[in-house]
Amino acid sequence: MARSRTPKFDASEVITNEIIRIIERGVLPWRKPWTAGGSSRPLRVGGEPYQGVNNFLLTMRTVMAGHSSPFWMTLPQANALDAKVRKGEKSSVVVYYGQSRKDAGGDEHDRSDGDDHSEEARIFRFQKSYRVFNACQIEGLPDSFYPDPEPVPEHPPSEPIPHMQAFFDAIDITTVFTGTEAYYLPPVDKVYMPSITRFQDPRSFYGVWAHELAHATKAPHRLNRDFGFSKFGNTSYAREEIVAELTSVFLGQTLGFTAHTLEMNAAYLHNWLRVLRSDKGAIFRHAADAQRACDYLIARSEMGRAGRSAEAA
């Protein structure tokens, strides 16, 4: 009698299905303003912030579970700190990427070994998954894993927030403030935004601005991101919307706002569902696209402010 095989664990499918179930409820939990223990980003056991898709996933899970600690760790890492995961707690799946080199003879080498003399060597990229727990699911950790929350700053309605305004003003992408709609127009390479006075919460203004600047990073002379012919509602359009949303999430973690769009409706949610249901690898690639866009905008802002300081000196 043949034994039935246990299906191989597919992290991409499990994670994508998790996100689909959440969006089907009509919510985008990563938009909720939050900090855990004073950090706006999930942190590894050593204090390094997660990036890309793992940042997105653990941000979402922190919000949904109501965790008050930003720290996440594996079971062995908890045990090494003489701590233990509480009985019944569920882990969260995250992923990491690596690459190996296989030469013509079939031997595999780690990419970091520096042995690249074979012209016939080929690089293979791989994804692996592992499981982590939030510090709030663990007993016996040092108090440093449960830092006190910082007060959420209040900002006057419809007025600029100085550090956010300075950040966006320094980016060398033209923004025109006019009308009631927000969009990026590729033929003229300009972002169009409503005035901040149209926003009761100025953080929403910066969330929308980040979203539109994210679209501008796709230009050929910037990050050259192209998902094919795009028109409202098609799959290419939906993919670009996911990248812009996640870019706004990541940038907002740095500056103190949350992702925001002027329209939040069933059609917007359908953009996500259309892509995720048809491509279990999409969220991983588009989170990487968004991380690149976020890093690009941060670099351009820093360059712009450095140039202004040099001129003033």
| Lowest-confidence segment of 141-145, 146-150, 195-199 by average pLDDT | 146-150
Q: What is the mean pLDDT of residues 98-102?
A: 72
How many CA atoms are closer than 13 Å to the CA of 223, on its beta-carbon side? 23
- Token pair belonging to 164: 């956010």
The answer to whether residue 192 scores a pLDDT higher than 70 is: yes
The answer to whether residue 235 scores a pLDDT higher than 70 is: yes
More confident residue, 209 or 99: 209
Confidence at residue 114, expressed as pLDDT on a 0 to 100 scale = 40
Burial class (CB within 10 angstroms; exposed 0-12, middle 13-18, buried 19+) of 88: exposed
Condensed to tens digits (0 to 9), the pLDDT of residues 72-84 reads 999 999 999 999 9
Confidence at residue 115, expressed as pLDDT on a 0 to 100 scale = 42
Condensed to tens digits (0 to 9), the pLDDT of residues 247-259 reads 999 999 999 998 9
More confident residue, 163 or 270: 163
The answer to whether residue 121 scores a pLDDT higher than 90 is: no
* pLDDT grade for 264, boundaries at 50, 70 and 90: low
Highest mean pLDDT among 31-35, 98-102, 228-232, 240-244: 240-244
Cα distance between residue 125 and residue 122, in whole Å: 10
Query: With contact defined as beta carbons under 8 Å apart, do 154 and 203 qualify?
Result: no
Q: Which residue has the tokens 């031997």?
A: 107
Q: Where are the domains of the chain?
A: 34-145, 162-312
Cα distance between residue 270 and residue 23, in whole Å: 9
More confident residue, 271 or 139: 139
Condensed to tens digits (0 to 9), the pLDDT of residues 14-63 reads 999 999 999 998 878 888 777 788 888 999 999 999 999 999 999 999 99
Q: What is the mean pLDDT of residues 145-163?
A: 90
Confidence at residue 162, expressed as pLDDT on a 0 to 100 scale = 96
Closest CA to 199 of 169, 240, 164: 164
Confidence at residue 107, expressed as pLDDT on a 0 to 100 scale = 54
The answer to whether residue 113 scores a pLDDT higher than 90 is: no
What are the phi and psi torsion angles at 216 (to 5°)? Answer: -65, -25
The answer to whether residue 278 scores a pLDDT higher than 90 is: yes
The answer to whether residue 118 scores a pLDDT higher than 90 is: no
Mean of pLDDT over the chain: 89
- Token pair belonging to 212: 């539109």
What are the phi and psi torsion angles at 3 (to 5°)? Answer: -75, 140
Closest CA to 196 of 205, 185, 184: 205
Q: What is the mean pLDDT of residues 90-109?
A: 74
What percentage of the chain reaches a pLDDT higher than 90?
Answer: 68
Confidence at residue 311, expressed as pLDDT on a 0 to 100 scale = 78
Cα distance between residue 93 and residue 55, in whole Å: 12
- Spatial strand order of the sheet with 175-177 comes to 175-177, 190-193, 183-185
Q: What is the mean pLDDT of residues 94-106?
A: 72
Confidence at residue 207, expressed as pLDDT on a 0 to 100 scale = 96
Q: Which residue has the tokens 């595999």?
A: 108
